Amino acid sequence: MRVYNFSAGPAMLAEEVLQQAADEILDFEGHGMSVMEMSHRSTEFIRIAEETEADLRELMKIPKNYKVLFLQGGATGQFAAIPMNLSKKTDTADYILTGLWGKKAIKEAEKYLSVNIAAKTEPFTTIPELTAWNLSKNAAYVHITQNETINGVAFNYTPKTDAPLVADISSMILSEPIDVSKYGVLYAGAQKNIGPAGLTIVIVRDDLMGKARSYTPMVWNWSEKSVSGSMLNTPPTYSWYLAGLVCKWLKRQGGVEGIAKINDKKAEKLYKFIDQSGFYKNDVDKKYRSKMNIVFTLPDNELDKAFAEQAHAMGLKNLEGHRSIGGMRASIYNAMPEAGVDALIKFMKEFESKNG
Amino acid sequence: MRVYNFSAGPAMLAEEVLQQAADEILDFEGHGMSVMEMSHRSTEFIRIAEETEADLRELMKIPKNYKVLFLQGGATGQFAAIPMNLSKKTDTADYILTGLWGKKAIKEAEKYLSVNIAAKTEPFTTIPELTAWNLSKNAAYVHITQNETINGVAFNYTPKTDAPLVADISSMILSEPIDVSKYGVLYAGAQKNIGPAGLTIVIVRDDLMGKARSYTPMVWNWSEKSVSGSMLNTPPTYSWYLAGLVCKWLKRQGGVEGIAKINDKKAEKLYKFIDQSGFYKNDVDKKYRSKMNIVFTLPDNELDKAFAEQAHAMGLKNLEGHRSIGGMRASIYNAMPEAGVDALIKFMKEFESKNG
């Protein structure tokens, strides 16, 4: 029996997607082999790859002057690739620090250029007002983490900056409409809203290509990769195929606009329940609450273990918060049905009545 | 119906492995979720990861003073990571150039240090004698491509060098016994003999750790990755799991020693047939013929297309040689059963009798 999996990533996938993958795993469309076994240069795989890109472009309304790259190495790999592709060693980049992923991005970027933390919040429970950002003159780029997976805080708008805006959208890609044209670079690890771990999507505006440092590894040189259609070397073909199945599933859900409505409803329900409860608590500024990663605490962290274990026994898995901050976290990405949130709320009520 | 897939990589996987993956894809061992959906930090996934490493260590007899890393980015990623992890900009490394993958490795390494091509062969049909290698004094390392996938030429011994020996074993890993203790670093993309594309195995001797340059991306810093058990960031979990299924399958085939006997037999049969034929031709020095990638030409390359198409129609797929050198190539990795080679020889005979 399938469970409701609240893991922050790798995360739940739609059962329909997994079922299709299962049906095709030994023999894809009569070719007598699995997609895993296909040459990345075969007609069959190239069709899969191109369709996936076309579907992603359609879903996200990606303008023509942006390239879509299918890379490896995760968002953490791009933490290095971004400064390598966009700056010189003597440059400065502005980073807006709103959570633990932003912190990691900054630590990695500091190897490659001067980082100016133009704004930060600590504890990570809000988004600093744009008017208070201390942006550098001539920054190579401005970096934000659109949704902080660990802290459950998210931008609810796209800041307008002079320097190209670079955003880590790993945990919110495809969950709500986003105006790609306002960004220079968008990037995301696949393992939350796209497919299995091992695929990284990078969306780059054409004018930002071709500036990579001489020591940029070839596989992360955006312009070299782009020229080859992300096939300069063997791409993670099976993850790419699964991303394609997810895109097609998402189109059947009414696309990003359709799923966004469901996501809004899921998040609203859960926050409303938490807020009216005297037992559970979420400290994030209401304006900037994540719709994907909902963090909450119990009145006594001694109860955390019992909460997670009892939830687990009810088929509500992986509700423990990130090891760095503790507490609880429900990651409710696109593949989490509303019924999963309902089941969670029902369990939370019962747990409260027993322990409140 | 499953076909015989002679693709050089991504390549054929054992049907048993795919069948098990299919059976478990929606619900792994009663956990109610796919391995794809599991947190990389979950007890279940960590067990999979550790078992895979233990099986790989057992199969390859990897000594305790070597770390095994599960990375992303392919062998091409390691072309950059190797000099970054093992050398300073002012260092020299020796490269032995025996094929097109060696050429790519050199081109990438030249970004990071001085490359001395200590020996080369062109055309790529043999391995230069060790006594003729012009090795540098104080080389940071010596790099070889143990088996050249495109050219079908392979080392049949491990050269003894003063500097640490680094070998790309992408297309021969797990196909025959290898004495790991003679190497400093072994690395391989998974998509030939291990599993699907998107996983890179790197085996590093302990004393070579901790020398990475300051600008080495964190996800490719071998010592940082090693400390975290390759979980510094989200690893390609599903590929890791499939690599584990392949290792268990290989153990059932009698391990590397068992499969090596079958591989020997497969390669012997096919080379013997080619050599006795006046029609097909393989130019590789007999001592250094690859057992994994068997290249051959027809008497007239005008026949290539018909050969590939007719083979394809018989369920013998992907026999075209690499686009850079043309001709034909049969990649017969571990998962290619002897019956596949028999079927190929039978077809080759028939094609010869019609066109010879």
List the pLDDT tens digit at each of the 356 positions of chain A.
899 999 999 999 999 999 999 999 999 999 999 999 999 999 999 999 999 999 999 999 999 999 999 999 999 999 999 999 999 999 999 999 999 999 999 999 999 999 999 999 989 999 999 999 999 999 999 999 999 999 999 999 999 999 999 999 999 999 999 999 999 999 999 999 999 999 999 999 999 999 999 999 999 999 999 988 888 899 999 999 999 999 999 999 999 999 999 999 999 999 999 999 999 999 999 999 999 999 999 999 999 999 999 999 999 999 999 988 899 999 999 999 999 999 999 999 999 999 98
Looking at beta carbons, which residues of chain B come within 8 Å of A317? 32-33
Nearest to A32 among B25, B42, B315 (CB): B315
The whole-angstrom distance between residue B314's C-alpha and the CA centroid of its chain comes to 27
Say what the pLDDT of residue A356 is. 83
Nearest to A239 among B198, B215, B217 (CB): B198
pTM for this predicted structure: 0.97
Which residue's structure tokens are 């599993």?
Answer: B195
The catalytic residue among A67, A192, A225, A291 is A192
CA distance B43 to B40: 8
Say what the pLDDT of residue A7 is. 97
Looking at beta carbons, which residues of chain A come within 8 Å of B76? 218-219, 232-234
Amino acid at B137: K
The catalytic residue among B101, B222, B240, B249 is B101
To the nearest whole Å, the CA of A92 is away from the closest chain B CA by: 16
Q: Give yes or no for a contact between B159 and B180, defined as CB atoms under 8 angstroms apart.
A: no
φ and ψ at residue B169, rounded to 5 degrees: -115, 25
CA distance A148 to A128: 14
Nearest to B234 among A189, A195, A318 (CB): A189
Say what the pLDDT of residue B228 is. 87
Q: Tokens standing for A129?
A: 């007002």
Nearest to A236 among B1, B32, B197 (CB): B197
DSSP B93-107: EEEEE-SHHHHHHHH
Say what the pLDDT of residue B356 is. 82
Say what the pLDDT of residue A181 is. 98
Could A81 and B11 be called an inter-chain contact, meaning their C-beta atoms sit closer than 8 Å? no
Angle (CA) B349 B353 B356, round 5°:
110
Angle of the B255-276 helix axis to the B43-60 helix axis, nearest 10: 60
Could B26 and A2 be called an inter-chain contact, meaning their C-beta atoms sit closer than 8 Å? yes
Give buried/exposed letters for B231-251 (b at 16+ CB in 10 A, else e): bbbbbbbbbbbbbbbbbbbbe
Angle of the A237-252 helix axis to the A43-60 helix axis, nearest 10: 40
Q: Give yes or no for a contact between B126 and B153, defined as CB atoms under 8 angstroms apart.
A: yes
- Who contacts B339 (Cβ-Cβ below 8 Å, separation ≥6)? B4
Q: Give yes or no for a contact between A71 and A233, defined as CB atoms under 8 angstroms apart.
A: no
Angle of the B338-355 helix axis to the B304-313 helix axis, nearest 10: 130
Say what the pLDDT of residue A15 is. 97
Q: Give yes or no for a contact between B108 and B114, defined as CB atoms under 8 angstroms apart.
A: no
Q: Tokens standing for B219?
A: 């996800």
CATH architecture of A254-355: Alpha-Beta Complex (3.90)
Residue whose C-alpha is closest to residue B277's, from B334, B329, B355, B224: B355
To the nearest whole Å, the CA of B40 is away from the closest chain A CA by: 7
**3-state SS class at A317:** strand
DSSP A101-163: HHHHHHHHHTTTSEEEEEEE-SSSSS---GGG--PPTT-S-EEEESEETTTTEE-SS----SS
DSSP code, position A297: B
B171: left (phi over 0), alpha (psi -120 to 50) or beta: alpha
Q: If 0-12 CB within 10 Å is exposed, 13-18 middle and 19+ buried, where does residue B100 land?
A: middle
Q: Give yes or no for a contact between B302 and B326, defined as CB atoms under 8 angstroms apart.
A: no
Q: Tokens standing for B218?
A: 């964190």
Angle (CA) B131 B76 B238, round 5°:
125
Could A73 and B217 be called an inter-chain contact, meaning their C-beta atoms sit closer than 8 Å? yes
Q: Give yes or no for a contact between B43 and B37, defined as CB atoms under 8 angstroms apart.
A: no
- Domain A16-252 CATH (choose: 3.30.70.1710, 3.40.50.720, 3.40.640.10, 3.30.565.10): 3.40.640.10
Looking at beta carbons, which residues of chain A come within 8 Å of B41? 323
**Most B CBs within 10 Å: which of A29, A191, A241, A242, as the mutation test of the B interface?**
A191
CB under 8 A, 24+ apart: contacts of B259-266:
B259/B174, B259/B175, B259/B176, B259/B334, B260/B175, B260/B176, B260/B177, B262/B338, B263/B175, B263/B176, B263/B291, B263/B292, B263/B332, B263/B334, B264/B176, B264/B291, B265/B338, B266/B291, B266/B332, B266/B336, B266/B338, B266/B341
Task: Let me know if B354 is a catalytic residue.
Answer: no
Residue whose C-alpha is closest to residue B331's, from B267, B260, B259: B267
CA distance A8 to A11: 6
- Who contacts A287 (Cβ-Cβ below 8 Å, separation ≥6)? A126, A127, A156
CA distance A104 to A267: 27
Report the top-level CATH class of B255-355. alpha beta
Q: Tokens standing for A338?
A: 């509303």
Q: Percent of chain B scored above 90 by pLDDT?
A: 97
Residue B323 has pLDDT above 90, yes or no: no
Section B230-250 average pLDDT? 96
CA distance B241 to B21: 9
> What is the band of B230 on the pLDDT scale with cuts at 50, 70, 90?
confident
Could B42 and A7 be called an inter-chain contact, meaning their C-beta atoms sit closer than 8 Å? yes
φ and ψ at residue B221, rounded to 5 degrees: -80, 105
- Who contacts B154 (Cβ-Cβ below 8 Å, separation ≥6)? B127, B146, B147, B148, B172, B288, B289, B290, B291, B292
- Who contacts B50 (Cβ-Cβ below 8 Å, separation ≥6)? none
> What is the band of B96 on the pLDDT scale with cuts at 50, 70, 90?
very high
Could A33 and B238 be called an inter-chain contact, meaning their C-beta atoms sit closer than 8 Å? no
Residue whose C-alpha is closest to residue A79's, from B254, B348, B181, B219: B219
* Chain B residue nearest residue A335, CA to CA: B37
> Count of CB atoms within 10 A of residue A349's CB?
15
pLDDT tens digits for range B27-80: 999 999 999 999 999 999 999 999 999 999 999 999 999 999 999 999 999 999
Nearest to A15 among B1, B26, B36 (CB): B26
Looking at beta carbons, which residues of chain B come within 8 Å of A235? 197-198
Say what the pLDDT of residue B8 is. 96
Alpha helices in B176-335 (DSSP H): 222-227, 237-252, 255-276, 304-313
**3-state SS class at A96:** strand
- Who contacts A269 (Cβ-Cβ below 8 Å, separation ≥6)? A338, A341, A342, A345
Residue A153 forms beta bridges with which residues? A148, A289
Say what the pLDDT of residue B229 is. 87
- Who contacts B21 (Cβ-Cβ below 8 Å, separation ≥6)? A25, B242, B245
* Chain A residue nearest residue B36, CA to CA: A196
Q: If 0-12 CB within 10 Å is exposed, 13-18 middle and 19+ buried, where does residue B314 land?
A: middle
CA distance B286 to B267: 12
φ and ψ at residue A159, rounded to 5 degrees: -65, 145
User: Is the dihedral angle over the CA atoms B209, B215, B221, B227 positive or is it negative?
Assistant: positive
CA distance B109 to B81: 9
Task: Let me know if A168 is a catalytic residue.
Answer: yes
The whole-angstrom distance between residue B36's C-alpha and the CA centroid of its chain comes to 24
For chain B, give the mean pLDDT: 97
φ and ψ at residue A93, rounded to 5 degrees: -125, 145
Say what the pLDDT of residue B7 is. 97
Domains of chain A: which residue ranges?
Answer: 16-252, 254-355
Task: Let me know if B168 is a catalytic residue.
Answer: yes
The catalytic residue among A55, A67, A101, A220 is A101
